[in-house]
Structures are given as C-alpha cells and as structure tokens.
Amino acid sequence: MSNLILNCEILNHVLEGKKITFQDAIDVFNISRCNPAELFNTAQILRNTNKKNIVTFSKKVFFNIVNLCRDVCSYCTYKAEPGEPKLSMMNKNDVVQLALLAKKYRCVEALFVTGERPEERYDGARKWLKDNGFSSTAEYLVSCSEIALENGLFPHTNAGNLTKNEMNDLRKTNSSVGLMLENSSERFLEKNMPHQFAPSKKPKERLRVLENAGELGIPMTTGILIGIGETENEIIESIFAIKKIHDRFGNIQEIILQNFQPKIDTIMSDFPPVAENYFKRIVALTRIIMPEMNIQIPPNLSPKSYQSFLSVGINDWGGISPLTPDYVNPEFLWPRIQNVEENCQKEGFELKARFPVYPEFFSFVDSKIRDKMSEIQDDEGFVKREYWK
C-alpha cells in the first residue's frame, strides 16, 4: 500500500469517528513531512465538527507570586535567584492591590504562578512564607486564591508538582489547575539534557499529579513543550500519555502546545526556534489523536503567524493579559485582544472569552465558585461579551 493511500485510509477512519492508534499516528506524521495538506485538512474538519467556528481565550492577570525555584531548566528565564532585580515575592497586600487593578481592567482569570517549592531550597523563601503566616507555598496559594475570588476573579494555579492533599485544598478556591507535562520521556533527565537539574520534571511524577487531579475531579490544563530536543516519537508518546489519563478520568480540559523560543543567558540560547511547519504538524496531529480536546497555542510565541494555526485545528489562545506581562516569556508581548479578535474574524471565526475552566467542565467546579461565575456567564457558558469588552 502506498503512503498516500495509507494516509487517506487512516485519516478517513478518524473522520468516521474511529480512534487512531499509536502506530497510525506515527505513520500519518511521517507521511505528512513532505505533504501535510491532508493532515491539516482533517484536523480542521475535526475542529469545526467539535468546536464549530468559536475560538476562545481567557482574559487574565498574571500573579507572579514567587519565582524562586528548586529546579534549574536549561531553557528557563523565569527562575530568579536571591538579589536579582527580577525576583518576585508578592505579599498579601501586593495580591490585593493587583486583584483590584485587574478588576478595573475587567480581567476574569487570576493566574497564580510560582517556582517549584522554593521553600525547599531557599531560606529566604521559608522566612517570607513565615512572615506571611504560612508554612508552604501551596498553603499561601489557597489564601491568595481566596483574595482573588473575593475580588471577582477566578483562580487558576500553576505551581508545579502539587500533592493530592494540596490540590484538594486548592479545588475549593480554584476553578482549574495547570501542570505542563512538557514531555513524557525520561531521556530529558539525562546528563546535558534540559531537565538534568530539574527533579520536578520527572515524567512519572508529573503524570502522577495529573492522575491525582483526575481522582479528585479537578479540571486540569496540561501540555507539551516542543523543540527542546525531542524526537518525533517522543512527542507522539507524550500526547498519548495525556490521552490515556483523559480517557480514564475525563478531566483534562485543555492541551497547550508550546513552541520553544530560545532565550539569552540560558544554556539553550543557541537552540533554534521551532520550525513552523513542524509545529503545525504536531498541532494537527494532536487534534487527530484527541478530536474533542481543547487545543491551545500561545499567540505571543508565534506573533507573526498565530492566526494561521486556526487552519490546523486549534480552538483556543489561552490567557491574554491587558495588564501584566508573560513572566515566563517576558520578551514576547501579549497581542492586543482587539487585534486577536480582528484576526479571528478575518479567518471566519468568532472570538469568545471563557473562564479558566471550559463550559463542558463546569460540573467539576465547586458550587460556590460556580455561583460567582454565573453572575457574568452567558447562555453558552462563556463570559458575557459586555463584561470583557
């Protein structure tokens, strides 16, 4: 059987509602290297079938709570060391003031981000927590989330490998939680690899966090970092690892596909950025593997071409802030929401603002949070247009 016939047969089976196997995914991806048109077209059909012409985003404010971190990743500039100008350690008053300002900007999501358990490595982090009345970063995040909710914002926390008990505490104040898998291959922990000095990036530990979230019924955002030295098989294995958890628990609400961008002053500064066609093939393949999944690319990391990804299967832009920078990628500015909407309309799509949790996952959310969401929610479960505009 020729590659072209094999490719068409596999993709037709997907369009008929049949699940793609791991080997089928490898075959489709390999065949698409020279001619990705059929892959892209199939992904677009599946997105249109499952998501219609709606593209979503979350209007957010980024709370950079503490960027000390026990890990060292070869590509990261988010992590700070004591004494550096970029060091952030937000006390409760800082959180209150930013929450009040975010409300004026009509933000919906309060994104809480921290380094990985900084109190395990830094005496200053332990003292800072003690001064705020807490023994752990996770405990402090619960208090910060309560402040956000009191001020009409809806928390979404990214704080690394939280324990099951910590996530259970956060679920009372968070509409969703996030943890990037990045990649399921243990190879990235080896010598001279990106996660050699990042113990929290062990795939088994990250997958266990996703499984714990599933057992707790917490809507979870996860994703893959593309372009850090992975093989094509490792990318596909990572997508299937996420799929396996979602098939079991049904709580993975979104997959972020994040393209690596090299940063100065990092070990991987000389690595090239991800080739766009390679990135698009991965995006489209993810849609093929998980047709009903919400799939996001960050628009600020593809500033000149993000709208072109609408033709390969995505349906979400993630969080966009009119107020705070992307502290993880500060050199890449958020696009203006008005410009994103105009670009969506040019491609035939309608932009809608969502909560940190997608409408189809509302049943997972604590009733008190749902009651607050209902105050600014439209009939489809999105944020009322007159609220976010």
Q: What pLDDT, on the 0 to 100 scale, is given for residue 7?
A: 74
Distance CA 372, CA 346 (A): 34
How many Å apart are CA 27 and CA 21, to the nearest integer?
10
pLDDT score recorded for residue 4: 63
Weakly modelled stretches of the chain, pLDDT under 50:
none
Phi/psi of residue 337, each to 5°?
-60, -40
Backbone angles phi, psi at 336, to 5 degrees: -70, 135
Report d(CA 169, CA 166) in Å as an integer. 5
* H or E element at residue 366: none
Structural domain including 145 reads 3-388
> What CATH number is given to the structural domain containing 115?
3.20.20.70
- Report DSSP letters for 146-214, one per residue: HHHHHTT-EEEEE-SS--HHHHHHHTTT-SEEE---B---GGGGSTTSTTTB-GGG-HHHHHHHHHHHH
Q: Among residues 274, 314, 275, which one has the least CA distance to residue 297?
A: 314
- Cβ neighbours of 371 (radius 10 Å): 9
Cα 36 to Cα 308: distance, rounded to the nearest angstrom: 14
* Structure confidence by residue, pLDDT tens digits, 214-261: 999 999 999 999 999 999 999 999 999 999 999 999 999 999 999 999
What are 223's two structure tokens? 């994703």
Query: pLDDT tens digits, residue range 58-94?
Result: 999 999 999 999 999 999 999 999 999 999 999 999 9
Q: Which of 321, 318, 297, 298 is nearest to 388 (CA)?
A: 321
Strand partners, 320: 59
What is the per-residue pLDDT for 25?
97
Q: Would you state the pLDDT for residue 166?
A: 98
Give me 105's structure tokens. 């900007």
Q: Which of 60, 21, 363, 71 is CA-nearest to residue 206? A: 71
In contact, 352 and 129? CB cutoff 8 Å: no
DSSP category for residue 357: S
d(CA 22, CA 37): 21
Domain count of the chain? 1
pLDDT at 6 (0 to 100): 62
